Structure 1
Amino acid sequence: MNTAPDSYPIGTPGSPWGDAERAEWLSRQTRQRSYEAEVLSVIERLRPRFGVEEYGRMDYGSDSYPLLAIRSRDWNDDLPVVLVTGGVHGYETSGVHGALQFVDQHALEYADRVNLLVAPCVSPWAYERIHRWNPNAIDPNRSFYENSPAEESAALMQLVAPIRDRALMHIDLHETTDTDETEFRPALAARDGKPFTPGGIPDGFYLVDDSENPQPEFQQAVIAAVEKVTHIAPADDNNEIIGSPVVAHGVIEYPLKQLGLCASITNAPYKTTTEVYPDSPRATPEQCNTAQAVAVCAAIDYVLAQWQDS
């Protein structure tokens, strides 16, 4: 794995960024792939089978990105609602393509059992630039709260508002990558004028539960299914994953709402955030996408069983 730089090339160590530093950072970002070719075209091919709606549009300079959501065509208010989100961090590729793979290959299996709402690429500008932040150097996944400074986050919250209290489950698809350690954590420290403390990147898949409402059996059902596709991240020598105590096999907990995380945007009793490790020598891109899709299926299967028994 690459090591982190001694200092970040933008800004003065110990001093938070101002407008000049943010502008310099933005000037370094370049388009590396196409949201239209890789995401929108896939969604278009799904239109014959699903409802597709534009729930917002991100206009950044000369770039304009429609935000698209996919939903069950025959919405039935008597059925529970399941929310799937991906690409909140645009560089986390399998979150986007795993969500699309789930819709393409599995969603119709649940057509008469749940209402599905899928936002596969919440941050298209960052998707194209393979970055964590939006153009304003804001992390959308720390911005899910009232009067959000991130347009991507605000648009998703508006989309979800009608089902916030009706959702049974929300699964948010993410990755933990080597570039978290070599680029994104050093950039965060530099942006905020704080020292960067090197850490480690776990080799494998893991989940983040809600410490305010943990659902350990739900998390383990997802872990058990994914373990058939790819390996689960072990705890480090401190029994932690990325600095958080491991509470069960492949599971850590965060206070989702307190941190403004995407998985906090509904009052669903079942919530989880997936973390795939695409840089592992033991995992291919296809495995990573499949792991995300399998996680969604396992999560839905578990909550449906609980809902039907209630």
Structure 2
Amino acid sequence: MTSHAFYPIGTPGQPWGDAEKAEWRSRQTRQRSYQEDVLTVIDRLRSRFDVVQYGELDYAPDGVYPLFAIRSRDWDDALPCALVTGGVHGYETSGVHGALQFAERHAAGYAGRINLLVAPCVSPWGYERIHRWNPDAVDPNRSFREDSPAQESAALMQLVAPLRDHALVHIDLHETTDTDESEFRPALAAREGHAFEPGEIPDGFYLVDDSENPQPEFQQAVVAAVEKVTHIAPADANGEIIGSPVVAHGVIEYPFKRLGLCAGVTNARYTTTTEVYPDSPKASPEQCNAAQVAAVCAAIDFALAHRLAQLRAAQSPAAGA
């Protein structure tokens, strides 16, 4: 079904120009504080981890936003690396707070086993305005590519570049919300000059695997861990979640690198994008954060266990026979 649903900016059927983008930006208001919600938590972690500033976004007149990542203090180049990213879409709250809670409560337990790099809030302007886009009406999570149009994406790519071939696992923390259908997809259709095609928001957690590097056993290990915390989204009547075929319990696939998605920013073997559903009557904000943390721990645990098994197999006498 195709809908010509009204969106208050632009002319139906015509892509936005600079004037429409400026009007859209003028409607975005600050609703929460990056400084209070994110930077204060990062400051608490400075005694236990290295905190690196990897960029700064000057979005005058709205403000200047420093970008920080949390890094293992005992970094060892002989160890593999795990990358955790949150807040690529600033409005997806549990991605930000889940990444911070993982760093605060669990990261120390991985010392000496894996190097950790956590970028908890990739899009702080979007975090404050509870929006998917940056102030240029650009989606950072379609912009992880050369000559990126999104400053947020370009800064993270530069941070991660030295680790691109050394990362073992990357988990990118997201949410699917009711506002995807009521605001963000209609806005996207209006921006592109397309008709809005309504979809269905899944009730529950799911994962997005990389169709160009599928790791089904890894994805199912993460789903199994999260299922202890919150419910997993079922397929719809078409056997799909958000228009993509369900390939396993709670799992769909996208081509990460071709779409410019954050989860494709490294060449890690194990990659996934989480999707928590915070609008479910069966899930609280605390559960959503806990689901993200459980997903991160399960992802790293799986990757480490399989790496260790491979190393032992390579060292066994039979391997050299």
Partner in structure 2 of residue 180 of structure 1: 180
So what's the TM-score if we normalise by structure 2?
0.95
What secondary structure sits across from 1:258 in the alignment?
Answer: helix
Give 1 or 2 for the bigger CA radius of gyration: 2
Q: Equivalent residues in 2 for 1:186-265 (5 A)?
A: 186-265=186-265
1:78 positional shift: 1.0
Aligned equivalents of 2:136, 2:68: Cα separation in 1: 21
Shift of residue 289 of structure 1? 0.3
**Identity over aligned residues, as a percent?**
77
- Equivalent residue number for residue 171 of structure 2: 171
Q: Distance in 1 between matches of 2:4 and 2:235?
A: 25
Contact 2:206 2:251 in 1 (8 A): yes
Deviation track 1:197-224 (CA, whole Å, cap 9, x = no partner) reads 0000000000000000100000000000
Residue 53 of structure 2 is matched in structure 1 by 54
Once the two structures are TM-superposed, the CA of residue 5 in structure 1 deviates from its matched residue by 8.8
Structure 2 SS opposite 1:301: helix
In structure 1, stretches of 5+ residues that fail to align are none
Task: Say if 2:108 is the partner of 1:108.
Answer: yes
Corresponding position: 1:32 with 2:45: no
1:123 aligns to 2:126 (yes or no): no
Q: How far 1:7 moved relative to its partner? A: 1.1
The answer for the alignment partner of 1:43 in structure 2 is 42
Q: In the aligned structure 2, how far is the partner of 1:5 from the partner of 1:37?
A: 40
- In the TM superposition, what is the alpha-carbon distance from 1:6 to its structure 2 partner? 2.4
On the 8 A contact 1:5/1:186 being kept in 2, the answer is: no
SS at match of 1:96: helix
1:55-76 CA-partner distances (Å, limit 9, x unpaired): 0000001300000000100100
- Indicate the residue corresponding to 1:82 in structure 2: 82
Aligned match of 1:20 = 19
Rounded to whole Å, the distance in 2 between the matches of 1:5 and 1:121 is 34
Q: Which runs of 4+ in 1 moved over 4 A?
A: none
Distance 1:120 1:73 in 2: 17
1:138 is matched with which residue?
138
Q: Deviations over 1:117-139 (max 9, x none)?
A: 00000000000000000000000
- Aligned to 1:257, the other structure's residue is in SS state helix
Root-mean-square deviation (Å): 0.8
Scaled by the length of structure 1, what TM-score is found? 0.98
CA deviations on 1:200-257 (whole Å, 9 max, x unpaired) are 0000000000000100000000000000000000000000000000000000000111
Q: Distance in 2 between matches of 1:213 and 1:300?
A: 17
Q: Distance in 2 between matches of 1:186 and 1:27?
A: 18
Letter paired with 1:150: A
Structure 1 counterpart of 2:13, which letter?
G
Q: Letter of the aligned partner of 1:40 in structure 2?
A: L
Q: Which amino acid aligns with 1:177?
A: T
Task: Encode CA deviations 1:77-108: one digit per residue, 9 max, x unaligned.
Answer: 11110000000000000000000000111001
- Contact residue 102 and residue 296 of structure 2 kept, 8 A: yes
Tell me what 1:92 maps to. 92
| SS of match in other structure, 1:220 | helix
Q: Is the 8 A contact 2:87 2:95 kept in 1?
A: yes
Q: Which amino acid aligns with 2:28?
A: Q
Instruction: Write the distance in 2 (CA, Å) between the matches of 1:206 and 1:111.
Output: 29
Q: Tell me, yes or no, if the aligned pair for 1:241 and 1:252 is still in contact at 8 Å.
A: yes
